[in-house]
Amino acid sequence: MRAFTVLLFIVLALLQYRLWFGKNSVSDYLSLQEDVKAQQLVNAKLQQRNKLLYADTDDLKLGTEAIEERARNELGMIKENETFFRVVPSKNSEVNDNTNKELY
């Protein structure tokens, strides 16, 4: 009976060692939980970005306003009978800006 008790104690000790220090131990489990939480945050950000992209593509498919807005901003589109004004700073204002920068 004494040998059986010692054998059970050794088996328990080996199992405890494997639980705390072996492969797939408690520390491995805790580190994997942290990795899962970090990946879930990344996934949530990517899902939000995907929602915005889907909304943008739906807007482009269904309406002409989004297409027109993109054409104006990215391609410089101007409609017929529209006047385009470009405001270019004068050389005097550039000189004044440079002298003000030098003073400070």
pLDDT at 90 over 80: yes
pLDDT tens figures, 40-55: 999 999 999 999 999 8
- Residues 89-97: what's their mean pLDDT? 69
Residue-range domain boundaries for the chain = 2-77
SS (H, E, C) the chain: CHHHHHHHHHHHHHHHHHHHHCCCCHHHHHHHHHHHHHHHHHHHHHHHHHHHHHHHHHHHHHCHHHHHHHHHHHHCCCCCCCCCCCCCCCHHHHHHHHHHHHHC
Instruction: Pick the range with the lowest mean pLDDT from 5-14, 29-38, 65-74, 92-101.
Output: 92-101
* pLDDT number for residue 104: 44
Q: What's the pLDDT score for residue 97?
A: 56
Around 28, how many Cα atoms within 13 Å sit in the side-chain half-sphere?
8
